[in-house]
Amino acid sequence: MILSPSRGETCDHCLAVTVSIQDAEPWCPHCEWNLDRYEPARRPPEFGWRWIDRRTHRLAYRLTRDQFDALVADGIDRRGPALARVVTIGASLLLLVGVVLVAAFGVWLVVHDFPSLTIPFGLAALGLAVVLRPRFGRLDESAYVLDRDQTPSLFDLVDEVARAIGAPAPDVVAVNDDFNAYATSIGLRRARVLCIGLPLWGALPAQERVALLGHELAHFVNGDVRRLLLTQPAFTMLGTAADLVRPVSTFALPQSALMGWAGELLAEIVQRVLARLLFTVHVVLVAVGLRDAQRAEYLADELAAEAAGSAAAVNLLDTLLIGETMEMVVRRDARAGHGPDQWRRSSEQARTSAGPILPALRQLSLRDQASLFATHPPPGLRARMIQERTAQGPAVALDQARLERIDSELARHYDRTVRNISWGG
Ligand SMILES: [Zn+2]
Ligand SMILES: [Zn+2]
């Protein structure tokens, strides 16, 4: 990546010299003039019409910055705004009622005047209800569940970090091959799951691992509306409904000869009319829900700083900024048969060489990652939020010996990850 010290231009507002990275339009590093610029070449289309995408980008940029300013001024509340919760829970209840009505209508069409020509319509309606049923999530298939007996050091660390931030310990700890980590709740009983991507875990230095655990475990206490049982329909059912309007339909009605043309006709009507309506509502709900999700991410970062210290929490976010490069480096090492010790050395080099452009990368993340559909605030703003707060020292310190013990207990899993990621991609 190239940080060009401007094209000899100065900011319109404060006369500072503008900066740019690669082909990005220049902006002012001092007052951030022109940072909100919409650059279609640097982001995937969202609605598909450029004039709408430009406006929604501008709106998202403004909402993101306003939220940041408000949270800096007022502090981050553990429970989100009541409005986001009320809207999502209300919508979820309405959706549940809607699906029950569609199912009941289907049953009525089938049994009414049995047998009659309405049977295929009834089956189609029942199929629709099945497709739209609420889902409560389950463990993804690529995750390997860990056993405390075999990886006691990792479990001890997880417990220690959870205690430090006042979060409950997860019910399930798993690993997978992603350059990522997540915490979620699954099933009707909302079992708490922590899943750690080994390529990321192995590449992180000790204290950033603590920050990563702190951030993820914080999701069990940050009041994120996405985790509530009652809000699942709002996020999942309408997501399914949104699939209905995609040009290539992934609409998975159980196709049987019984439903025949009538079912298809009904499906098409649903696609054309109802789905568009649902999609619009989905967009609004997701936008409302995700505003609150972004607040929850800031709070998770704050708890990560509490566990690992502010410096490590900021470093972790900078790692995310150059995530693509880091992922490439880890994959390259894995192909050469190397494990986590080498990943850490290579990642350290990648970070050192990105050092001089980090401030610009942080700023550019605001332009590139502001979106109505973003689940997270831009990493640059997240780092800035931690720096705005009182600096914290680490509550949990992970030394090198313990890090190595954790990794040696995970050896078998690292071997599998090395095999998997050197074949894939
Ligand atoms: Zn300026
Ligand atoms: Zn998070």
pLDDT tens profile 288-331: 777 778 888 999 999 999 999 999 999 999 998 999 999 999 99
Q: How confident is the model at residue 245 (pLDDT cuts 50, 70, 90)?
A: very low
Ligand sitting nearest the alpha carbon of 294: 2
* The token pair that represents 93 in the structure block: 């209840």
Question: Please, how many CA atoms are within 13 Å of residue 308, restricted to the half-sphere of its CB?
Answer: 34
Q: CB within 5 A of ion ligand 1: which residues?
A: 11, 13-14, 16, 28, 30-31, 33
Distance spanning both ends of the chain, measured CA to CA: 22
Query: If you measure from the C-alpha of residue 21 to the centroid of ligand 2, how many angstroms do you get, rounded to a whole number?
Result: 27
Q: What pLDDT is recorded for position 257?
A: 46
In sequence order, the β-bridge partners of residue 191 are: 186
Cα separation, 175 vs 216, whole angstroms:
13
Q: How far is CA 232 from CA 16, 91, 126, 127, in A?
A: 48, 10, 21, 20
Query: If you measure from the C-alpha of residue 37 to the centroid of ligand 1, how many angstroms do you get, rounded to a whole number?
Result: 14
Q: Which residues contact 75 (CB under 8 A, 6 or more apart)?
A: none
Q: What pLDDT is recorded for position 278?
A: 66
Average confidence (pLDDT) over 221-250: 62
The sheet carrying 191-197 orders its strands as 144-145, 172-176, 191-197, 181-186
Range scoring the smallest mean pLDDT among 88-92, 191-195, 305-309 = 88-92
Q: What pLDDT is recorded for position 338?
A: 95
% of the chain surpassing 90 pLDDT = 50
Cα separation, 411 vs 201, whole angstroms:
13
Query: If you measure from the C-alpha of residue 52 to the centroid of ligand 2, how many angstroms do you get, rounded to a whole number?
Result: 28
Query: If you measure from the C-alpha of residue 376 to the centroid of ligand 2, how many angstroms do you get, rounded to a whole number?
Result: 7
Q: Which residues contact 365 (CB under 8 A, 6 or more apart)?
A: 321, 378, 379, 380, 381
Query: If you measure from the C-alpha of residue 5 to the centroid of ligand 1, how many angstroms do you get, rounded to a whole number?
Result: 14
Cα separation, 46 vs 271, whole angstroms:
20
Q: What pLDDT is recorded for position 248?
A: 37
Ligand sitting nearest the alpha carbon of 19: 1
Ligand sitting nearest the alpha carbon of 14: 1
Q: Which tens digits make up the pLDDT trace of 378-401? A: 999 999 999 999 999 999 999 999
Q: SS3 of 394, please?
A: coil
Measuring CA to CA, which residue among 170, 190, 189 is closest to residue 181?
A: 170
Range scoring the smallest mean pLDDT among 152-166, 263-277, 339-353, 390-404 = 263-277
Cα separation, 19 vs 7, whole angstroms:
8
Measuring CA to CA, which residue among 35, 23, 19, 56 is closest to residue 290?
A: 56
Query: If you measure from the C-alpha of residue 16 to the centroid of ligand 1, how many angstroms do you get, rounded to a whole number?
Result: 5
Measuring CA to CA, which residue among 370, 379, 290 is closest to residue 58?
A: 370
* The token pair that represents 116 in the structure block: 């009659």
Has residue 425 got a pLDDT over 80? no
Query: If you measure from the C-alpha of residue 25 to the centroid of ligand 1, how many angstroms do you get, rounded to a whole number?
Result: 14
Instruction: Answer yes or no: pTM beyond 0.85.
Output: no
Ligand sitting nearest the alpha carbon of 214: 2
Average confidence (pLDDT) over 50-76: 89
Cβ pair 364, 321 in contact under 8 A: no
Q: What pLDDT is recorded for position 255?
A: 43
Has residue 2 got a pLDDT over 60? no
* The token pair that represents 288 in the structure block: 């409302």
Measuring CA to CA, which residue among 412, 423, 332, 327 is closest to residue 154?
A: 412
Cα separation, 304 vs 156, whole angstroms:
17
Strands 191-197 vs 172-176: parallel, antiparallel or unpaired: parallel
